[in-house]
Amino acid sequence: MLLPHLSRLFATSLPSLSFSNSSRLLSTSLMSVGAKASARTKATLRGVVFDMDGTLTVPVIDFPAMYREVLGPEAYAAAKKAGGGSVDILHHIEAWGPQEQRRAYEIISRFEQEGLDRLQIMPGALELCGFLDSRDIRRGLITRNVKPAVDVFHKRFGIMFSPALSREFKPYKPDPAPLLHICSTWNIPPNEVMMVGDSLKDDVVCGKRAGAFTCLLDETGQYGPHEDLEDDLRPDFKVSSLVEVFTILESHFDLAPERAQAV
């Protein structure tokens, strides 16, 4: 209970607050606290690692045709069934003898060269790279393609990824080794890095095994709803275009401040 003189002091010095005004002030305060708490709970992101074919570039290689020519129609059908619809062609080739491997890699190289002749940058890729650069977020690349293809990509589109690991780096995706190598090179823990790619069994599995955030690029919806994916294959995020990655980054991560433009 307030003493009489204190009661008068409060009555004359404080503005009267109706219940509705008090409610609005409380609501505003809670919203402010909630927003600050939300900002504090956002994860840190200091690096993004991309797949190349089908992620940074428009898919142009006819992989089913390549696999059929390498394995033969019957073996390809059996491998596809055993792999749940996907085929790890490099894994199959590793078990072959030198002569068979040579023939297989010649076929693969022909298809990859045809793909390079028609190489196109994925819509939104250049803008996304510029956004990452403006926030001082590192950019890396992991591909099961060969190093000359990575060199052509860098030169043709004028953007560099470092490190950029091709299939000469072994073990390759879905083993987490290449992603962990990039994290070690950057001196950034995997839980502050995101792996972005268009393959569940290569890119997403690689990222999850390394302990990184994962984002699946599913342009055609071939993988179905995000919630229907198996737990060990379910990415943290699923997008239908690289443009959607902007929203994910800004909504879920505490990004570094944008660089001030020079006057």
**DSSP code at position 172:** P
Place of tokens 């305060």: 29
Q: How far apart are CA 166 and CA 141, in angstroms?
A: 8
Provide, for the chain, the percentages of residues in helix, strand and coil under a 3-state DSSP scheme, each rounded to the nearest 5.
50, 10, 35
Q: What is the set of active-site residues?
A: 51, 53
Residue in 90, 62, 233 with CA at minimum distance from that of residue 166: 90
Q: Tell me if residue 60 falls in helix, strand or coil.
A: coil
Q: How far apart are CA 228 and CA 208, in angstroms?
A: 17
Q: How far apart are CA 86 and CA 81, in angstroms?
A: 8
Q: Is 142 left (phi over 0), alpha (psi -120 to 50) or beta?
A: beta
Tokens of 54: 């089908």
